[in-house]
Each structure stands twice: as C-alpha cells, then as structure tokens.
Structure 1
Amino acid sequence: MYGLIDFILHIDQHLVTIIDQFGIWTYVILFLIVFIETGLVIFPFLPGDSLLFAASALAALPAIHLNIWILIAVFAAAAIIGDTVNYEIGKKVGLSIPEDSLLGKVLNKEKMEKAESFFNKHGGKTILIARFMPFIRTFAPFIAGASRMHYGYFIRYNFIGGAVWVLLCCLAGFFFGNIPYVRDNFTIVVLGIIFVSLIPMIVTFIRGKMKKTA
C-alpha cells in the first residue's frame, strides 16, 4: 500500500522512469492502469485523474517522447472499454454479492445501497457524473449493469463521459502541468486534484449524515 501511495504522490517521477524503461510500451502500461481502475470493480484505488494530468504534463516536454493526441486516444479507449467491461460484470453478477467474497468485501451492502441510491436519483447521468468522482466511477457501471440499464442508453453516457473526462484532465495537464509553480510543487498539485475529486463524495456524505440527524 505504501508503494501505491508513493507512486500516486510522486507520479510524475515514476512516469519518467517508466517512459525511460519501456519507451513506446508506456502507452500500453497507461492503458492497462486506466482500464483496470475503471473496468475491474475491485481496483477503485488506482490513480485516475492524477495519472491523466501527470502523463499529459510530461507530454508537453520536448525531452519526453509522449504524444498528447495518442495519450488522449489511449486513455479514452481505456476508460470507455473499461466501463463497458464493468457493466457486463455487473450484468452477469447482479446485485446479490456474497459478503465473504472479494467483490463482496469491496462492494459491501452499505456501498451498494449508496451507489444504487445515487444511480436511481440521477439515472444515466450517473455514468457521466461519476467519471469525475474517484471510487464512484468504478462502481457506477457495475450498478448500471446489475440493474439492467439498457445497453444503448449506457454506452451513450459512457462514451460522452469518458471523452469529456479524458479531454479535460489531459488538456489541463498539457497546458498547465508545466507552469513553474505546478512543476515544482507537483505533489501538492496531485493532492489538490485528489481533494477536488473527492468533494462531491464528501458533500454527499455530509448531506446523508444531516438527513439522518434531522
């Protein structure tokens, strides 16, 4: 777990090492990280927003051999395909998950109820909104599949959400990631990205607590 935290906080340094060691295969590695984070429901803790931002910031450097448009295509494909796989897993498994299973421990009853409530409230827009919410974006397509959302309806929001999420994160990284202050304080920026991403979840949690005490 410490290794994962270190990777996230110093993601720019680790990415440089990966690029130096693997060259063009870096695109495959980045695809797999985003695909696993969005497609396999038991890995919601893998970096998403910060990875897109950091990789795109490095792509702006002449010395780094990463192409921003290839990055955008790779990340978009990983996000959209990942959510589609997650949807199919949810469709096959359903909402009745044994609590003693690995999936049951990740998606316990409380998390499932909260995700389902959020899903019922916002409908298909959940797939789009969830893209910008860590953890929720991993659970949303699973719930969509488990609740038998129409595939055509799901894929439309999946495609739009994936494209918008990737474009915003990547273009922000490409154009702002190499501002001197950002570059010199990248760990703080990453923590800021994580915090901002968690704000919707924090607000939802506080509202839920306030309703219970009201």
Structure 2
Amino acid sequence: MSFLHDLPIADLIANYGYIAIFIIITLESAGLPLPGETVLLTSAAYAGSTGNLSIALVVAIAATAAILGDNAGYWVGRRWGLPLLLRKGHMIGLDHGRLKLGQYLFRRHGGKIVFFGRFTAMLRAYAAVLAGVNKLDARRFMVFNAVGGVAWASIMGFGAYLCGRSIENVMGPVGLALLAFVLLGAVALWMFMRRHEARLMVDAEAAIPGPLVAGSVAPQAVAG
C-alpha cells in the first residue's frame, strides 16, 4: 500500500479526485488561505504511486483552477479594492502588513509578481487580489496569470508525479530516508520563506511609511 494513504489530504484526493483538486486550488487562488499547492503535490504523487489518477488531467485541472481563481481574485480586488481589505482582509490573512507588502512589491515589480507569486508560499493566495487592488492592467495580468498558472501546475505536478513513482519503487530504510529528506527540505524552505517575508515587510514599511489609506495604489502597477 502506498505511504500516501496515511496522509489526510490523500484521503480527500482518493475520495473526491479531480473535483477536490479543482475546488481547493480555485478557492486558494481567489484569495482563501487553503492548501492548494499541497493538494496539487499530493494529487500528482498519488497519481504516480497508484495510477488511480491521470497526471495529465491533474496538471490540466490545476492550471485551469489556478487561472480561474486568480481571475476571480483579481476582479474582486479591483472592484472593491483596498477599502474592503482594510476592513476585512485579516479574515483571509491579509492584514495591514501584507497589504503594504503587496503595494510595495507591485510598485517595484508590477506584473512579474503575478507570475513568480504563484511559486511563492507567502504570495500564492494573495497575488491576484493584490494585483486588482493595485490596479495592474487587466490584459497584462491575464498574460502573467495564464503563463504562471500553466508553469506552476506543470512544474509542481510532473515533479511530484515523478517523485511519487520513484519513492514507491524504493523499499525499506532507503525509501523512508528519502521521504524524511524531502519533508525536512520542505520544513527548511517554509522557515526560509517566513524569514524572507519578515525582511520584505521591513523594507515595505521603510518605503511606504505610515498607515495605508483607501484609494492609494502602486503607481507603476497601474502603468503595467
């Protein structure tokens, strides 16, 4: 039996399959703090170790969900914008510090944040909403969003699929050691990203001192 069967998310994938992948990744991409990338990685590894899912469909559904969810988040952010998030953003993890960080990043990097944010834990769920809040050009957003969604789903999905196939074929202590190494690497990456986020928040506060006010956007983001 696959070691993946012991993971709660694997139970979700085993029971609901592609529907679970689509719903969770769509909602995370729209701005809700859900484990979308974990679902993609687990689904792809599950496909590799059991053959019960098609990796091509897993990747296609994940990419579609990411793009659709990001578009929803973008238009919510663009329509209701900063006033709503200043009042309610803390409910989805977008506190004042992260809102300021988003404005700072879009001011410096514009649309590139949409693409690279897809691969970054601290931005993945919020990049699209923040792009809308900061009035990034819609056409520019859609291009970066589509390319980022396809690249993210393909790289993460096929990578996890190959890992799932490999780990399932490695038996005994070697397989356990490999799994432990992967888990430790994931923890180390999470710790690094948390420290990096803290440093960026300090930079954002220095660049944009004081409280954010409704109606303020990142000037360079508006221009694209």
CA contact (8 A) 2:45 2:161 kept: yes
Paired position in structure 2 for 1:34: 25
1:140 corresponds to which of 113, 127, 135: 127
What is the TM-score when the length of structure 1 is the normalising length?
0.78
Q: Name the Cα RMSD after superposition.
A: 2.9
Q: Residues 22-61 of structure 1, C-alpha deviation per residue, up to 9 Å, x if partnerless?
A: 4xxx10111111111111x2x22x2133322221111113
2:47 match: 59
Superposed counterparts of 1:154-165, under 5 Å: 154-165=141-152
Deviations 1:172-195 (A, max 9, x none): 111123323566764763463354
- Post-superposition CA distance 1:110-158 (Å, at most 9, x none): 2111111011111100001101111312221111112222111000000
Tell me which of 7, 27, 38 is aligned to 1:50: 38
Q: SS at the partner of 1:168? A: helix
Q: 1:175 to 1:109 in 2, by over 3 A?
A: same
Alignment partners' CA distance in 1, 2:130 and 2:74: 7
**Number of matched pairs:** 196
In structure 1, distance between residues paired with 2:5 and 2:117: 23
Give the conservation status (yes or no) of the 8 Å contact 1:12–1:55. no
Distance 1:98 1:211 in 2: 18
Could you state the TM-score of these two structures normalised by the residue count of structure 2? Answer: 0.74
Q: State the percentage of identical aligned residues.
A: 24
1:13 to 2, 7, 27: 7
Segment drifting more, 103-112 vs 193-202: 193-202
Aligned counterpart, 2:211: none
User: What SS is found at the alignment partner of 2:42?
Assistant: helix
Structure 1 residues 129 and 54: alpha-carbon distance in aligned structure 2, compared to 1, 3 A threshold = same
Asked whether the 8 Å contact 1:176–1:182 carries over to 2, the reply is no
Distance 2:80 2:104 in 1: 19
How far is 1:170 from its partner? 0.7
Question: Which of residues 109, 129, 133 is equivalent to 1:122?
Answer: 109
Amino acid of the structure 2 residue aligned with 1:151: A
Following TM superposition, where does structure 1 have runs of at least 4 consecutive aligned residues deviating by more than 6 angstroms?
Answer: 210-213
Moved more, 133-142 or 70-79: 133-142
Structure 1 runs not aligned, ≥5 long? 1-9
Q: C-alpha separation between the residues in 2 aligned to 1:211 and 1:77?
A: 32
Shift of 1:196: 2.4
Aligned to 1:108: 95
